[in-house]
Amino acid sequence: MKTIAVLCCSRNSVYHSLPDVECFDERRDATTFAGGMPIVAHPPCRAWSAFCAHQAKPAAGEKDLGLWCCDMLRECGGVLEQPAHSRLFAAGGLPMPGTISGDLWTLEVWQKWWGYSMKKNTWLCFS
């Protein structure tokens, strides 16, 4: 199996228990990731939310982390996840669901498919 890096995962994420996964959570700053392997990126969404960014109080540098994750997706390949309608897609030059831009394409999924209790739509951008 090929090792992958999970950028911006939570401290209690299931990713920490998986083999061949390098996890970058708050303790292990994602920006220290040197590349060289595909990524799964979960950049913080509150600053990019189409619905609650106006009331969000992101930590210093948190919004920039989303744009950095877009760059890592292009450089390393993999997938980036954000809630549907995230403004990160426009700011980071990512394609909207159902469209392709170069090596990038985006798909809308429902988190309920993986056991989440609500029908929350989510966008996944692949490279």
pLDDT of residue 119: 81
pLDDT of residue 74: 98
pLDDT of residue 76: 98
What value does the mean pLDDT of the chain take? Answer: 92
Q: Does position 117 have pLDDT exceeding 90, yes or no?
A: no
Q: Does position 107 have pLDDT exceeding 90, yes or no?
A: yes
Which residues are CB-neighbours of 116 under 8 A, at least 6 positions away?
Answer: none
Q: Check if the beta carbon of residue 104 is closer than 8 Å to that of residue 95.
A: yes
Please state, in angstroms and rounded to a whole number, the distance separating the CA atoms of residues 42 and 72: 12
pLDDT of residue 52: 74
Phi-psi sector, 81: left (phi>0), alpha (psi -120 to 50), beta = beta
Please state, in angstroms and rounded to a whole number, the distance separating the CA atoms of residues 56 and 36: 33
pLDDT digits (tens, 9 = 90+) for 4-53: 999 999 999 999 999 999 999 889 999 999 999 999 999 998 889 787 76
Confidence of residue 82 (pLDDT cuts 50, 70, 90): very high
Higher local confidence (pLDDT), 6 or 112: 6
pLDDT of residue 109: 95
